[in-house]
Amino acid sequence: MSEATVSDEQLRLFIERIERMEEEKKGVADDIRDTYNEAKSQGYDPKIMRQIVRLRKLPPNDRKEMEAILDVYKSALGID
């Protein structure tokens, strides 16, 4: 087998693997959307839920810092 053939085969395998993962990612995204829709049908606000999910991803110190800065900005703009 020539070097180009080995490289071509390796590239094809990478591409096929990425394509499978993209399909899985689409499936997961659809499941997430369905879950938000289900929560909405139960009276929950999906926009707020998305914000909570983002906040929970942050390390506690980063979250506290962001909330403190947000409070300063809101106060400066007379919001609250």
Token reading at 18: 């990425």
Q: What pLDDT digit, counting tens, does each position of 15-69 carry?
A: 999 999 999 999 999 999 999 999 999 999 999 999 999 999 999 999 999 999 9
Answering whether pTM is above 0.75, one says no
Please say whether the beta carbons of 36 and 46 come within 8 A. yes
Please say whether the beta carbons of 63 and 55 come within 8 A. yes
